[in-house]
A and B are shown apart, each in its own frame.
Chain A
């Protein structure tokens, strides 16, 4: 892939220009306690050009929010539903490669596989993605490099910035991206051999002494039900159903639908739901086909590590380690993977 170069100063100019063309400029910014989150910085200029670590919550929250108004109920009595469309043009700046890969997987699931989820599609189509490669690992626990999700994004971005000592290298990933380059030609220049050397060294440092996870073998073991039952039992005991994992996971896609009425009018919402909850599979009569904790965690892991390998040829765990960071019961998906592969 051909790369260009941009200085930090010129990147600032580019950002000012890009802000003019979008309704929301979603970028990493610091919140209280120095937490990094993604938020709209179009008007306040609070975006971080570069940052260490990753955001607490992934950009999934913009495409599948915790609650999302789905339909306006203009008359409950007449079953009048009017779709609430989100037509905002958003530019996402500074997304980490793990989250970019997660968005690729979510796009496959919501848009390319079977029925099309129109509300999701609309938001993706109106978005531009500028990825920011990782100069170093964000957490000791993260394992994106083992899951083929870092330090560089391979697809799913319009532009990708790769930090080097004198500025950023720029990769173009789509037509949208090359149009941005074309429009702002003067801000970019050619790369130097030294830049490429730096990147090579960066990748080398990142993945030093690291063996990629044989996810195909892992999926096979899981499919053949050869994971020791003690492992599942242990996970079941550890889970306290806090739902932190499914809230932070960039590839969790489960949801529910509910209505709120005020008289004859109201709103139909979609809200994030997930497999750890005991009531997730509960039916109207009260029966729960999967009542045990261990089955819920098993479902979570099987979806990420087995089923999506079969469906999309890659696991949908991107190694961001958000679930590991947040788990009160110390459930660690990477340890699980290592344990299964070692057995």
Chain B
């Protein structure tokens, strides 16, 4: 039986400067004996850097054939600061994948609305990529993405391709516009009334700061979206990823095992709105 706490080695294939405080690391398992890392949209991994212990990160890209996977890391603490110092070809430790995936079967043939705030776009990106890869299986897709400043927008090139997809729409908004910005201003909720979808059948996926999730859920409910069709990725401190360390525990559930993706109906049972 393998020791679940033992990290596998992953090599940094490429580093992309996403925003002033965020880098995307393109990784691949280093040892051939470890094979290709298989995971589903919505799952996460535990990234480990000797000397700085471990922290959870969601996969920021959808499963690829060549075994490469991406992780977007914002500089907020000691581990993420140390990660930002790393260069291409250096080695990190990873464990996982862990957590539940998003309900891919339930989503089929349905209209999908994605609401992302700030770095909350990273956990939704694998799902968005998956949907666009299998475009004919899904209905209309609309994405709302809000950031603080225009320079904080993630995946700028890829977002353009999301905008140009058939039967899809992409809405961007920033809190603090600069002179170059000609788009919408304000929090993501200001864009919700603009969407053209049937609230009774559309599935909604939210990820972002807890305060954004709280208000966005209230707004989509007001627009008539159904509780059981609203999914949010919960942000909790997950240390071990396997339901043992206790950090992410909420009322008998472990966010790392039973989540991190919960429907709003499930969230209400747990007594949390975000």
Main secondary structure of the interface of B (DSSP, over half): loop
Residue of A nearest to B77 (CB): A284
- Say yes or no: A116 contacts B239, CB within 8 Å: no
- In the bound complex, CA of A208 to CA of B80 (Å): 59
- In the bound complex, CA of A35 to CA of B27 (Å): 54
- Say yes or no: A79 contacts B236, CB within 8 Å: no
- Give chain B nearest CB distance to A284 CB in angstroms: 4
B54: chain A residues at CB < 8 Å are 257
- Considering the complex, which residues of chain A in the window 87-118 have a beta carbon less than 8 Å from any beta carbon of chain B? 109-110, 114-118
Size of interface on A: residues with Cβ below 8 Å to B: 49
* Interface 9-mer from A130-138, A273-281, A333-341: A273-281
A258: chain B residues at CB < 8 Å are 53
- Give chain B nearest CB distance to A75 CB in angstroms: 8
- In the bound complex, CA of A289 to CA of B236 (Å): 8
Q: Does A39 contact B (CB under 8 A)?
A: no
B108: chain A residues at CB < 8 Å are none
With A73-B50, A110-B244, A284-B77 already in contact, the answer to whether A256 and B239 are too (CB < 8 A) is yes
* Interface 9-mer from B3-11, B143-151, B160-168: B3-11
Q: Does A302 contact B (CB under 8 A)?
A: yes
Pick from A118, A121, A284: contact of B5, CB under 8 Å? A118
Q: Using C-beta atoms within 8 Å of the partner chain, give the interface range for chain B.
A: 35 or more
- Say yes or no: A115 contacts B242, CB within 8 Å: yes
Task: Mark contacts of A61-79 with chain B using CB atoms, 8 A cut-off: 1 yes-contact digit, 0 otherwise.
Answer: 0000000001101011111
Q: Does A329 contact B (CB under 8 A)?
A: no
- In the bound complex, CA of A77 to CA of B49 (Å): 9
Pick from B6, B7, B91: contact of A77, CB under 8 Å? B91
- Say yes or no: A284 contacts B76, CB within 8 Å: yes
Residue of A nearest to B246 (CB): A254
- Say yes or no: B1 contacts A116, CB within 8 Å: yes
- Say yes or no: B235 contacts A283, CB within 8 Å: yes
- Considering the complex, which residues of chain B in the window 218-255 have a beta carbon less than 8 Å from any beta carbon of chain A? 235-237, 239-240, 242-249, 251-252
- Give chain B nearest CB distance to A65 CB in angstroms: 15
- In the bound complex, CA of A19 to CA of B89 (Å): 53
- In the bound complex, CA of A289 to CA of B271 (Å): 12
B63: chain A residues at CB < 8 Å are none
- In the bound complex, CA of A266 to CA of B244 (Å): 24
- Say yes or no: A287 contacts B210, CB within 8 Å: yes
Q: Does B52 contact A (CB under 8 A)?
A: yes
Chain B residues packing against A (C-beta within 8 Å): 1-7, 9, 48-55, 76-77, 79-80, 90-93, 210, 235-237, 239-240, 242-249, 251-252, 257, 271-272
Q: Shortest 3 CB-CB distances between A and B: which pairs?
A: A254-B246, A76-B50, A115-B242
21 contacts between A and B (CB under 8 A): A70-B5, A71-B5, A73-B50, A118-B2, A118-B5, A119-B3, A119-B5, A256-B245, A256-B247, A257-B239, A257-B245, A258-B53, A259-B51, A259-B53, A268-B53, A280-B237, A282-B237, A283-B236, A283-B237, A284-B76, A285-B77
